[in-house]
Amino acid sequence: MREDPKPFEIYKHFKGNKYQVLMLATDSETKERVVVYQALYGDYAVYVRPLAMFLSETDHTKYPDAAQKYRFEKVEKKEDAGVTETEESASTSVVSDKVLTELAKEEMDEENKAYAALDPSVLAFLESHSYEDRLNILASMHDRITDDMINTMAVAIDVEIEPGDLEQRYMELKNCLLMKEKFERVRLR
């Protein structure tokens, strides 16, 4: 049985291109182990392939001219990789930095979009710790409230507001807040 690939190892595909393993991962639904790897050419695209397929033998029936025994073979020596040690470490660094930078930018963009999409009043509602304050904030938003705002605020107070008429949903959220506020007052006596 072949050894599992490790991060930053270089592998050569039977068609001749070289790839760098970024990590091993597990599919969240099937629990199948997968290899996340990146091309060391062109636009440095990142790919995912099941580990078993990554380590499998080349299909010589389908690819009779393939010289390699395995679909991906580890490049053992620096000379075999076609680059010097300095070039390889620089390439690895550039590739890894590029991937990490792109992933960080995407994550930050997602977070910024989420915060930008939040109305300041919704944000104040989420940050508030008393039901009385939340009721006041909700009342101030009555004329411009949306279904998404109601959904967000409902999640914040651990209730579910069924889909339907906007005004009816607003009143249901308000009633939930009134009830929680009443129990909060009784509890604090």
Tokens (6 digits) for 106: 């995407």
Q: Domain map of the chain by residue range?
A: 10-112, 118-188
pLDDT tens, residue by residue, 131-173: 899 999 999 999 999 998 999 999 989 899 999 999 999 999 9
Greater pLDDT, 183 or 144: 144
How many H helices and E strands in the chain? 7, 5
Count of beta carbons in the 10 Å neighbourhood of residue 185 = 11
For the ranges 8-12, 90-94, 117-121, the maximum mean pLDDT occurs at 8-12
- Which of 6-10, 72-76, 110-114 is the least confident region? 110-114
| Per-residue model confidence (pLDDT) at position 109 | 56
Residue 98 vs residues 62, 91, 93: alpha-carbon distances, Å: 35, 10, 8
| Per-residue model confidence (pLDDT) at position 110 | 57
Q: Classify strands 18-26 and 33-39 as parallel, antiparallel or unpaired.
A: antiparallel
| Per-residue model confidence (pLDDT) at position 106 | 62
Does the pLDDT of residue 112 top 80, yes or no? no
Looking at residue 49, its amino acid is R
Consecutive H or E run containing 124: helix 120-127
Q: What is the CATH number assigned to the segment(s) 10-112? A: 2.30.30.320
Count of beta carbons in the 10 Å neighbourhood of residue 14 = 19
Contact 141, 121 (CB under 8 A): yes
What is the mean predicted confidence (pLDDT) over 70-87?
64
Q: Classify strands 46-50 and 10-13 as parallel, antiparallel or unpaired.
A: unpaired
Tokens (6 digits) for 173: 């959220």
